[in-house]
Structures are given as structure tokens and as C-alpha cells.
Amino acid sequence: MSSLDRKTSRNMKWIILFLLPVTVLLISFFLYPIVFLVVLSFMEWNGIEPMSFVGMSNFSSLFSDSIFQTSIKNNLIWAFSAALLQIPLALLIALILAREPRGWKFFRTAFFLPNVISLVALAMMWRAMYNPEFGVVNVLLENIGLGHLARNWLGELDSALPAVIFSYQIYIGYFMVIILAGTISIPKSFYEAAMIDGANVLQQELYITLPVLRGIIVTAGTLAVAFALRQFETTFLMTAGGPANRTPVMGLYMYRRMAGLTYGRAAATGVLLILLGVFVLSGLQRIFGKSDAVGDSVQ
Amino acid sequence: MSTLQLTETHPALKAAAKTAKWAMLIVYFVIAVFPIVWLTVSAFKTNFEIETSPFSLPEVWQFQNFVNALSVSGLPQFFMNSIIVAVAATGINLLVTSLASFAVSREQFPGRKIFFTFTTAGVLIPIIAFMVPYYTLITQLRIYDTLLALVVTYSAINIPISMFLVSSFMATIPGELEDSAEIDGCSFFQRYAKIILPLARPGLVTAGTFSFIYCWNEFIYALLLTSSTSSRTVQLAIRFFTSQFRTDYA
């Protein structure tokens, strides 16, 4: 150990030098923002005059604002639909592709393709598809005889939020790839043994694939929920919170508060957004058990 | 489960399961991929064609939309801005994280684990919550509305994920190589630059890809930290096009 210690102290200057740039950037862009955000959430500030301490009034005014309440509710709807629609769909598709049907590599690439395109481009594309005059969605519904369902999807109070969420969560490629990567690591011999014992495909999936994939599914679910809570672009570009403030999410609410120069309330929204994330994600971990390390999934 | 199929005794069920499986794949294919095909095809049509016959192939495959997008709107400059930002931010990000990853994964020092946890914990934070702090920080640094603002911000935002990818990759490189290099008189910096960095290339490529895609597609902070057209990126530009200029930004 003594030789190791000597080596360490000799290199300590180098080590500090190597760690310095990352440390400076992390302090400026992660640590300082958190501290600043928390402090500012107790202040009133318009960005020009000095800040003044207002205690909890930013938070209490947020909770009495009906648009903020809608934003939190919408964020939770986003998160629920990610967990209940997006992940099961990704799992189903991944399990089908894991059995390597004809052309599975083509399907895998095709299903991942939308994830390479930016959310901005996808949002603009779906806005055109939902367009009441020439949008493909309505034209399609009319052509298959469901013309009575055609509507101004993004303009009507009841259909706007589901339409926005659908346009985002239909893209499962990222989670499909994560789950698919997990299935590939399951030894084929498990299935061979199960088949000799007379287990059908459904039983094989239920008793072999799903238990082995549990950690990965929880990871994918955690990521999907985290993405849903961070939602901004899709809503901002497709409805900007409308119609009649039915679709805002917390990110959009914060953006509006900033644009209105009420930085204190924007900061309070940011604090609540982080807390909501911690709360929901730790709740998920408690219910479903530990996920694999978050980073594992991205490799 | 649509892959449901029973043993040979139930051929009808087996066929039904097979049909369900393919129906599932094809329906999802149509929903998820068709819009992108439609968008790409529409880019070759006139506005009139898009509005009157949205499903048909264009009568004449015409490139006028692309020409308009390139000549009228200043798109080349926005592309250039995006490329500069993404390349510079990814470069800085990889440089600083490879330095820190080398120290964390190849050296022993007190507080090593804490440092690693601190750097990677940022993955869990919704970056969108930092709108106010980033805006004030960039204004205070007097780099508001410059490409530099985006470069610095993006390279910092991607540190946690890059640290995780690069340092876990570096940790898998066997130590014997370094030991023998040290015996041959390699300095600390040479061990980083000549031994570990080349060997860590796959890890760096993965992290770099993530970073580049993030920078290329980032929208919120581009919107918040720039205002003039001279520092506008492609993602912001898309927003200003209405349906008449449809280009595929894959």
C-alpha cells in the first residue's frame, strides 16, 4: 500500500489538473443552478431590480393557479401513459422481434428511425398530419368510413392532449432497442430446455423472458417516465398550451413565467419539477424494485 | 402476447398467432414510419398537390421546395451554425470528460467514488428545470445570443452521461499496459494521451454520438439563449417554416 500512496501523492497534481475542467463546468452548470434555483424560488425578481425575499408566496400562488394545476396534472398524465402505453408497446414489439421473424432487422431499423429525427421535426410533421383541412389523419378516417371521427384534433378541448401525447409516445424505438438488447443476452438453452418440458411460447415468454428482463423493463420505464416529466418541445410546438390552456406542462408553464419576467415563480416551478421527478422516480423504484443502473441502458 | 402459439396439436391457433404477430408489426410500421415517408414525399410536391391529394405521389418530382429552403430562408447558415455548435460542444465535452475519466478510472485518490457519483448524478436531473439559472448565467457571462453560449451549455449538459460511458469503458482496459509503459518511463500525461485515450476509442465514439445527436436536436436552450438569426440553429429554423417547406432533417 505504501508504494501506492507514494504513487498517488506524486500524481496528485496531475489528477487535480485532469479533474479541474469537469469540476468547473459541473459547478457552473449543475451545482450553482440548483442552489440559485432554490434561493430564487423564495424571492420575487423581475430580472432587473434587486431580488426581494417573499417566503413561500411563490409556491402558494403556484398551487392556487389553475393553469399550474393543469400543468402538473398533464405531466402526470404524460408519465402514466408512458408507463402504461409506451413501455408495454415497446415490450410487445421487442418480444416479437426477439424471436427473429423474417425481416426483423429491417423492422428494428425502421422502428428506431424516428428516434434519430428531432422532436421539433416530428412535432411539426404531426401538426401537419392533424391539420383539419388537408391533414392525413382526417383524410384517412374519411377514406375508411370513419368520417364522423374526423375533427380539428389539436383545436378541440377533449382531443388536444391525447393527440399531442400520442404523437410523441408512438415512437418507442429507444425503449424497444433497450429491451431487445436485454433479450439477446438470454441463453437459447433456456428456451430449448423449456420446449423439451413442453412449455409453449406464451409460457416461455411469461416464465423465462419477462423475469430475466425485469430489471431492464424497470430501467426503460424509469427513463420513459423521466422523459415524460421533462416534456416541452412537443407541447410548445403543437399547441403552445392551448386550446384554452388544456395542454400545458410544467416546462411550458415555467417558460411562460420567464417570458412574463416573474423569475421567482419560474424558479419555484423548476424546484417543483425536480422534486416531482425525484418523487415519481423513487416511487417507481420502491414499487418495482431497483432498476439496472440508469447508464447501463444507454450503452 | 401476440406470439402466442400452442403445440402442434393446435395448427389453427398457431396460424392465428402468426397472423396477429404480422398484423401487429405492420400496423405499427404504418403508424410510426409512414408519416416520415409521407413527409419526405411531400417535400417533392407543390402546396396545391399536398392540399388536394395528400396521399398521391407527386405528379412531377420537383425540387423547388428544397431550392426555396436553401436560397430564400438562409438555411445554409442555420445548418452551419448547428454543425459548429454540435462539433465544438462534442469536442469540448469529450476532451474534459476523457481527462476526468482517466483520473477517476485509472488512478487512486481520496474521494474518487464521491467524485464519480457527483458527476454522474446529473443524469437524473431534468435539465429543463434550469431555464432561469442558465439564462442568468449566460447573460452574466455576456455571451447571450452567441454560438459560444450554446457550445458551453451543451458541453456541460452532456458531462454526466459522457463521464459514465467513458469512465466505465476506461475501467475495463487492463492495467498491465500502463504498468509496463510506466516502467518504460511514460509520464502521467503520456499514459493518458498515448495509452488509454487510443484504447478508449469505442467508449469515446459512443459518448460522442450521444452528445452530437443531443446538440443537433436540442431546442429549448437554443430558443432561450439566442435571439438573432445569426446564431439560429436548424431546430429553431424548422419552427419558422410552415408546411410549405418540408425537408427531412434526419
CB contact under 8 A, A251 and B33: no
Q: Judge if B78 and B125 occupy the same domain.
A: yes
State whether residue A204 sits within 8 Å of chain B by CB.
no
Element (H, E) at A44: strand A43-44
State whether residue B50 sits within 8 Å of chain A by CB.
yes
State whether residue A238 sits within 8 Å of chain B by CB.
no
CB contact under 8 A, B216 and A118: yes
Boundary-marking domain end, from B69, B101, B119: B69
Closest CA to B158 of B196, B215, B197: B215
Q: Judge if B77 and B63 occupy the same domain.
A: no
Q: Judge if B108 and B147 occupy the same domain.
A: yes
Q: Is B47 helix (H, G, I), strand (E, B) or coil?
A: helix
Phi/psi for B235 (5° steps) reads: -60, -40
Q: Chain A: residue nearest B190 by CA?
A: A14
The b/e string for B230-248 (b: 16+ C-beta within 10 A; e otherwise) is ebbbbbbbbbebebebbbe
Mark which residues 61-120 of B lie under 8 Å from A by CB: 95-97, 99-100, 102-104, 107-109, 115, 118-120
Does any domain span residue B219? yes
State whether residue A43 sits within 8 Å of chain B by CB.
no
pLDDT of residue B111: 87
Q: Where are the alpha helices (DSSP H) in chain A?
A: 2-26, 32-40, 57-63, 66-81, 87-98, 104-112, 119-129, 136-143, 160-169, 173-184, 188-196, 201-204, 210-229, 233-238, 250-259, 263-288
pLDDT in tens, A26-83: 999 999 999 999 999 999 888 788 888 888 899 999 999 999 999 999 999 999 999 9
Does any domain span residue B173? yes
pLDDT of residue A9: 59
Q: Which of B38, B95, B129 sits opposite A273 (nearest CB)?
A: B129
Q: Judge if B88 and B62 occupy the same domain.
A: no
Boundary-marking domain end, from B48, B69, B90: B69
State whether residue A25 sits within 8 Å of chain B by CB.
yes
Whether B118 contacts A30, CB under 8 Å: no
CB contact under 8 A, B133 and A37: yes
- Domain of residue B39 covers 11-69
Whether B247 contacts A124, CB under 8 Å: no
Closest CA to B211 of B122, B85, B118: B85
The whole-angstrom separation of Cα A16 and Cα B216 is 32
Phi/psi for B137 (5° steps) reads: -60, -45
pLDDT of residue B93: 97
Q: Judge if B84 and B135 occupy the same domain.
A: yes
Q: Which CB contacts under 8 angstroms, 24+ apart, belong to A292-298? A: A292/A215, A292/A216, A292/A218, A292/A219, A294/A219, A294/A222, A294/A223, A294/B123, A294/B124, A295/B120, A295/B123, A295/B161, A295/B164, A295/B165, A295/B168, A296/A219, A297/A178, A297/A216, A297/A219, A297/A220, A297/A223, A298/B161, A298/B165, A298/B210
> Taking CB atoms and an 8 Å cutoff, what residues of chain A touch B152?
25
Does any domain span residue B178? yes
Does any domain span residue B248? no
- The per-residue pLDDT string of chain B (250 residues; one tens digit each, 9 = 90 and over) reads 444 444 444 677 778 878 888 888 888 888 888 778 777 777 776 666 666 665 666 666 667 677 666 666 677 888 899 999 999 999 999 999 999 999 999 888 888 889 998 888 888 788 999 999 999 999 999 999 999 999 999 999 999 999 999 998 998 888 888 888 888 888 889 989 988 999 999 999 999 998 999 999 899 999 999 988 888 888 888 777 654 445 444 3
CB contact under 8 A, B238 and A121: yes
State whether residue B55 sits within 8 Å of chain A by CB.
yes
Does any domain span residue B250? no
| ipTM topping 0.90 | no
> Taking CB atoms and an 8 Å cutoff, what residues of chain A touch B168?
295
Q: Please give the domain boundaries of chain A with CATH numbers for all domains.
A: 62-298 (1.10.3720.10)
Q: Which residues of chain A have pLDDT under 50?
A: 1-3, 293-299
CB contact under 8 A, B238 and A120: yes
Q: Judge if B28 and B118 occupy the same domain.
A: no
The whole-angstrom separation of Cα B226 and Cα A255 is 15
Q: Judge if B120 and B50 occupy the same domain.
A: no
Closest CA to B18 of B33, B34, B1, B32: B1
pLDDT of residue B201: 92
Q: Chain B: residue nearest A253 by CA?
A: B129
Q: Judge if B58 and B136 occupy the same domain.
A: no
User: What cell was used for A35?
Assistant: 442552489
Q: Judge if B177 and B87 occupy the same domain.
A: yes
Closest CA to B33 of A143, A174, A112, A123: A112
pLDDT of residue B248: 43
Does any domain span residue B157? yes
CB contact under 8 A, A110 and B25: no
Q: Judge if B143 and B156 occupy the same domain.
A: yes
Does any domain span residue B212? yes
pLDDT of residue B146: 94
> Taking CB atoms and an 8 Å cutoff, what residues of chain B touch A33?
130, 133-134, 137
Does any domain span residue B2? no
Q: For residue B131, give the CATH number of its domain.
A: 1.10.3720.10
Cis peptide before B35 (omega within 30 of 0): no
State the total domains in chain B. 2
Q: Judge if B49 and B102 occupy the same domain.
A: no
> Taking CB atoms and an 8 Å cutoff, what residues of chain B touch A198?
7
Q: Chain B: residue nearest A276 by CA?
A: B126
The whole-angstrom separation of Cα A64 and Cα A67 is 9
B76, B223, B236 from B227: Cα distances, Å: 18, 7, 10
CA-based diameter of chain B, in Å?
76
Q: Judge if B35 and B106 occupy the same domain.
A: no
